[in-house]
Chains A and B, each alone.
Chain A
Amino acid sequence: MQTKITFPHAGEYYVVFKDLFTNLGYEVVVPPSTSQKTLDIGIKLAPAQACLPFKITLGNLVQGIEKGANLVGMIGGKTGICRLAYYSDMYQKILADNGYPVELLAVKAKKEFWLSVKKHHPTLTLRQFMQTIRDFWRKLVIFELIREKSLAIRPYEINRGDSTRMKGRFLRQLEQTTNATELKALKQEIIQGFAAIPIDKERKIIKLGLVGEFFLLIDQFSTLNMEEFLGNNGVLLKYSLSFSEFFVGSLKQKRFLDNYLPTHNNQVYKYAQKYITRPIGGHGRESVGEAIVFKQKGYDGVIHLYPFSCMPEVVASSIVPRVSADWGIPILSICLDEHTGEAGFQTRLEAFTDMIKRKKYPFIAEDE
């Protein structure tokens, strides 16, 4: 039987993952964009206590399977010390219980991934495999460049929506790009394209860092398009974690180095040390440390996002007020769940940005 693979949408990252699986020889079924319907499926099938990312990704998978997929690509597999480690088993069981018996492919920076792919495609050589990974990596880096550029330009843009449209255009282009030469050309085009957007350099903007649970940092559906909402309100956003860093961070060698060399993560752990001395699963320790790193880099505030019932981030969220007081950085902790209303969410974000803006640019508050 031909293996058709599907995988969670993970924001717009599907563009790169689609390519990875195609090049590994799979037929790819991209699930429809995450929508309310996706979430509804997830809510119906998942245990009530499961977190929002689980429900959304489960919904993605079901929608992919309904389109004909019989193999599921899962980031992480059975690793990690939060509930993520159970997710692959839970997907499999829940999907089977509901009449979708599928196989699972754990996508991670480990030998296990190569062995599973090899089982599906016996003719694939290690050389080809490594090349595919390299190509995937190149594309991932370009993807993240597009994302970063749009975040950096949006608060300054004169014509609202310019950077969003530009991002959409380049993502479609990236989807079509196959070889390294084209990719290089695209990179130049991206840099020039974003530089050509008319901007108002004088605008009074603020810089906010985003920390928290990984899926919420990459998926715009679960955060109700926060990226655009804040960008349009004059906020320059920076994520503490991207997919490439997620992968690199999962390498044993990298983790070993972080313990001894002054790498970024080493700094993060050092700052977090006073509050959390050891890994607590997910990115709980990182959330605390990254918030302080943002402060050191001169950011005006930090937004901490976490899904309801996420253990590591719940721990982090109870530490956050102390970090905020100790380091004098405003931190807004937001808990997201399936019932999060847009209005309440935006009220908090707006109040938070107003608070920082009025502090940073006090002359706005003056009357005459």
Chain B
Amino acid sequence: MTIMDTTKPIMAEAAPGVETIDARAVNRKAERQLYAGREKIYPRLAHGRFRAVKWLVMVVTLGIYYVMPWLRWHRGPSLPDQAVLFDVERGRLFFFFFEIWPQELYYVTGILVLSALGLFLVTSAAGRVWCGYTCPQTVWTDLMVAVERFWQGDRNARIRLDKEPWGPVKIFRKAMTHLSWLMIAVATGGAFVFYFRDAPTLAREFIDGSAPAIAYLFLGVFTFTTYMLGGIAREQVCIYMCPWPRIQGAMVDRHTLLVSYRPERGEPRGPLRKDIGWGGRGDCIDCKACVAVCPMGIDIRDGSQLECIQCALCIDACNDIMDRVERPRGLIAYDTIAKQEAKVRGEHEPIQLVRARTLLYAGLMLVVAAVMAFGMWSRTALQVNVLHDRGVLFVPLSDGSVRNGYTVKILNKQHEPRDFVLSLEGLPNARLTILGMESTPQPRITVPTDNLRELRVFVTVPAAGLAALRPPQTPFSIVVTDVANGSVTRRDTLFLSASTPGAR
């Protein structure tokens, strides 16, 4: 494949009626110098199917992000009614019908593992779909560029404006752009903190200035990062800061659908001359429309490259041009390397979405999802932990009986207080006492709503019962019975005693 020198003198027309755009792929590897400042990119607005998809994704994702904290979900009088809330004060994570305690954070881990595998699957199937369409960096940059376009016009107008000397119009346009960016940034940071505290309350607190300092801090941090990363740094985040472009190479193979220029159809490229026509040349008229729309400042015709986020805007731009020069669409399209190579050989190779790699990722996702579903299904509204004393394994008492001490923790995840009764199973004659409640027979343990109660429990086996033990440790169960509905939770533990009676 020959890549023609794109820096040669620019012709005015690439084809009759199609101008050649004076666009340089400033971020292509060959042009990028280590010791040079960033060259600004002026992405041109594309029109077409993929641009429409990107607008839609932007509206949906930003809509979810900004609106989610305001959704309500009734949980009862003592609990917050915010549908999605990372409740820092209570140490709970509320998600609609589901809520988790800090020790159940593995659900979050599971969701992250599932997301990572999903990312692998999508990447192996269709390349950097995440980067091109849904990554927050892409979505916010897209939004910031749209705002810039609104105040300063499209590509050519923005280039002209930057070259102009400073005057009232330029100051106004630039100032309004940055002001809009800042407003978006503040709204972004604001929406973020709403996930951590009741949104209407916090909004009121922001207005009268009584919000917690940490809320202002995070509002500031996210305002700054949104403004900096989305408004100013843009493509540099993807090229220099983000690790994913380096990792994704491991997920992409010859059968992955990638945004590709088809050189076998496009080359040799060059402006279309009316007098010569299409004979003996490729379909690429070198109009650089694909370079002009690229938000990353690269040339897709250089082939697959790390800088490409696969946003497919060049497909839209090229299809537009192909329509105008009356050639078939798809000079730039989603294609696989295997398919392209087959085409050069004159063969046909189908798209293989189902292959070992995608099956593996999908299978792993199923496994993780199944494990999580089982965890959620078997999750109980009551958690009982029994810990045997560590320092003193057992205490011989003066009448020859032996006592073991336990810490029993009862966690009531229900939204109403519950009464429990403790009993023993598998340890005949043994007596159970609870510290502070020694005088009450069968004391009722009340665990308040959404709370934990810790008990010191002593189990004593009388001298007469020692013969039935199996020293050094006898397994038995501590049984926690819910008084209201009789439901029973058993915890297996051990009763320790000396192998020779009287030893300590």
- Answer yes or no: are A and B bound together in one complex: no
Residues in chain A within 8 A of chain B (CB atoms): none
